[in-house]
Amino acid sequence: MNFVEKLVSASGKNNSLVCVGLDVDRKLMPENISVLEFNKAIIEATSDLVCAYKPNFAFYEAMGNVGLEALKKTVEYIPENILTIADAKRGDIGNTSKAYADAIFTHFKFDAVTVSPYLGFDSVQPFMQHKDKGIFILCRTSNAGAADFQSLVSEVDGKEMPLFEIVAMKAEEWNTNGNIGLVVGATYPEELKIIRQAHPHMPLLIPGIGAQGGDLETTVRYGVDSKGELAVINSSRQIIYASKEKDFALAARQAALTLRDRINIQRGKLKK
Amino acid sequence: MNFVEKLVSASGKNNSLVCVGLDVDRKLMPENISVLEFNKAIIEATSDLVCAYKPNFAFYEAMGNVGLEALKKTVEYIPENILTIADAKRGDIGNTSKAYADAIFTHFKFDAVTVSPYLGFDSVQPFMQHKDKGIFILCRTSNAGAADFQSLVSEVDGKEMPLFEIVAMKAEEWNTNGNIGLVVGATYPEELKIIRQAHPHMPLLIPGIGAQGGDLETTVRYGVDSKGELAVINSSRQIIYASKEKDFALAARQAALTLRDRINIQRGKLKK
């Protein structure tokens, strides 16, 4: 099963476009629980409600080897039928990107990864060569600084386009193995609409709803493909830190369920 | 001592602009030696000839926790007076970049880091806030794909400029703590010349000589500041894999010495 098939299968089985961001933060977690125990409890409570889990490497690296060991065991613990996305935003020259791809796909055994496009084709290619794995290229990120460079307009093939659209166009060109998707933040709905219209068949990983402020209904309307699929809508803090008390797993389940249902109501409206 | 002072002090003491890239690769190393032992031998053999060491995280991550443990001990082993640069090319939204900065500066205790600019100001700021640490922002990378996006021309303040020049201009604007430098590949000498002329006081980290093919004399001429300083010229494979036999450390010393002297001959010519 390749990456897109796994995504469609997971979102179909659980009737869900929800991705849970496993961005662990000791200050926000209940006390007296290890990172791995916390993640396991979150996964147990939500794995029938989501299509993907997306741990961000930064939070694990900040804990040193203890964190990275917990990350590896977390990936192992995620049920086989759910997509695992390494939010790593890597990107380096060819032989170095190859080592990153080995780390993420071979050592950690993730199904997919986020990569940064700044270094161009040969920085993405070593990831793409893992044909059964998925590569989400940063296109329009969800943060305030996104516009600093991603909105700069250049002329390509006689047409003026902002950088993030050029990145998406190039990503589509590079996508000969059918395993590339794009990261587009929910905080920029007009940009999300443009990208979905220009790339109707690419999976979109969409962060930025919830704590970051992206509107959910607009995100669903602009983000899904013509079948109401291929959008991976991420929520991190709003789900995993729904409660800091002993009931955190149950609270996470409730938050994931609410988000899934709100998304599905919107998907239902689109089908009409 | 802040980052720039440490760089000038290290390059002054050892009369050297050489940075050794500790990009470990088991296939190229002598057999029957651990990564840490290898790095220690290279450091012992070269630390009086260089201004900096630059391990690239990818090669350590690909080995899992064993690699990252070796990386941490390698940084500890590098003499206090030599600059340590984490070649990590990180960059994420604000709270996530903060976690990466913690990982690199607090956990691994590096003096400096490379970061990717694609996400804009708030992705770089958490690194900058470590005022005594250095941040080398990717500007013009040394690889073939660099031109894919970095050469795209946009208009800023009424002036047309390629993306890499805009990144450099923004980096200079952001540099209120005086701890930002730029990464400019030796494989693009004309671009290096442009960046140095536009930013006469910023430290430049210059990869791409040696195995990647950048011309050394041109690199020195275009890369140094008016005093012949503030260029950190990296060589990885050509130094650390100068020999695969038992004499690898001695061969690395000889290669570092040759490189330092070739650079200094060129610096001498510039002073005349």
What residue of B is the nearest CA neighbor of A91? B89
State whether residue A199 is helix, strand or coil: coil
Distance of alpha carbon B1 from alpha carbon B137, whole angstroms: 21
| Residue among A58, A145, A155 whose CB faces B99 most closely | A58
Taking alpha carbons only, the member of B166, B115, B155, B171 closest to residue B138 is B115
Inter-chain residue contact B118 with A117, CB threshold 8 Å: yes
- The minimal CB distance from B154 to the residues A63, A94, A153 is found for A153
Which 3-state string (H, E, C) describes chain B?
CCHHHHHHHHHHHCCCCEEEECCCCCCCCCCCCCHHHHHHHHHHHHCCCCCEEECEHHHHHCCCHHHHHHHHHHHHHCCCCCEEEEEEEECCCHHHHHHHHHHHHHHCCCCEEEECCCCCHHHHHHHHCCCCCEEEEEEECCCHHHHHHHCCEEEECCEEEEHHHHHHHHHHHHCCCCCEEEEECCCCHHHHHHHHHHCCCCCEEECCEHHHCECHHHHHHHHCCCCCCCEEEEECHHHHCCCCCCCHHHHHHHHHHHHHHHHHHHHHHHHC
Mean pLDDT value of segment B136-160: 97
Rg (CA), chain B: 18
Judged by CB atoms closer than 8 Å, whether chains meet at B118 and A154 is answered as: no
Catalytic positions of A: 89
Cβ pair A58:B100 closer than 8 A = yes
C-beta atoms of B100 and A61 within 8 A: yes
pLDDT of A73 = 98
pLDDT, average across residues B53-73:
96
What does DSSP say about strands B83-90 and B52-54: parallel, antiparallel, or unpaired? parallel
User: Which residues of B belong to the active site?
Assistant: 89
Out of B58, B103, B116, whose CB is closest to A118?
B116
The pLDDT value recorded for residue A210 is 79
- Distance, in Å, from the CA atom of B58 to the CA atom of B241, rounded to the nearest integer, reads 18
Q: Is the pLDDT of residue B1 over 90?
A: no
The answer to whether B165 contacts chain A (CB < 8 Å) is no
| Chain mean pLDDT for chain B | 96
Judged by a CB distance cut-off of 8 A, whether residue A72 touches chain B is yes
Q: What is the pLDDT of residue A186?
A: 96
Q: Tens digits of per-residue pLDDT, B35-49?
A: 999 999 999 999 999
Those of residues 218-257 in B touching chain A at CB distance below 8 A are: none
Q: Is A100 on the interface with B (CB under 8 A)?
A: yes
d(CA A116, CA A124): 8
- What pLDDT, in 10s, does the model give residues A12-61? 999 999 999 999 999 999 999 999 999 999 999 999 999 999 999 999 99
B123–A138: do the CB atoms touch at under 8 Å? no
The span from the CA of A172 to the CA of A14, in Å, is 28
pTM over 0.90: yes
Return the percent helix, strand and coil in chain A, to nearest 5: 50, 20, 35
Of the residues B28, B149, B153, B236, the best mutation for testing chain A's interface (the one with the most A CB atoms within 10 Å of its CB) is B149
Task: Choose among B100, B117, B143: nearest Cβ to A94.
Answer: B143
From first CA to last CA, the distance across chain B in angstroms is 31
pLDDT at B213 over 90: no
B272 has a pLDDT exceeding 80: no
- Among all residues of chain B, which has the CA nearest to that of A185? B93
On whether the CB atoms of residues A262 and A216 are closer than 8 A, the answer is yes
Chain B: residue whose CA lies nearest to A66? B65
Helix or strand run (H / E) with residue A206 = strand A204-206
Q: What is the pLDDT of residue B214?
A: 82
User: Residue A120: what pLDDT?
Assistant: 98
The one-letter code for the residue type at A268 is G
Q: Report the C-alpha gap between A151 and A168 in whole angstroms.
A: 13
Q: Does B173 touch chain A (CB under 8 A)?
A: no
Could you tell me if A75 lies within 8 Å of chain B, comparing CB atoms?
no
Q: At what angle do helices A35-46 and A65-77 cross, to 10 degrees?
A: 20
Which residues of chain B are within 8 Å of residue A139 when distances are taken between CB atoms? none
Distances from the Cα of A127 to the Cα of A5, A122, A175, angstroms: 18, 10, 12
Residues of A with CB below 8 A from B167's CB? Answer: 149
pLDDT at B24: 96
**Regions of chain A with pLDDT less than 50:** none
- Say how many C-beta atoms besides its own lie within 10 A of residue B259's C-beta: 23
Residue B80 at interface with chain A, using a CB cutoff of 8 Å: no
Of A56, A62, A107, which is closest to B102 when you measure between CB atoms? A62
Average pLDDT over residues B217-230: 97
The three state secondary structure string of A38-50 is HHHHHHHHHCCCC
> Does B212 have pLDDT greater than 80?
no
Query: Residue A107 is nearest to which of B64, B89, B154, comparing CB atoms?
Result: B64
Residue B170, chain A, CB below 8 Å: the answer is yes
Contact B91 A116 (CB under 8 A): yes
The answer to whether residue B157 neighbours chain A at the CB level (below 8 Å) is no
The count of C-alpha atoms lying within 13 angstroms of the C-alpha of A240, restricted to the half-sphere facing its C-beta, is: 30
Average pLDDT over residues B198-227: 94
Looking at chain A from residue 36 to 65, which residues have their Cβ under 8 Å from any Cβ of chain B? 56, 58-59, 61-65
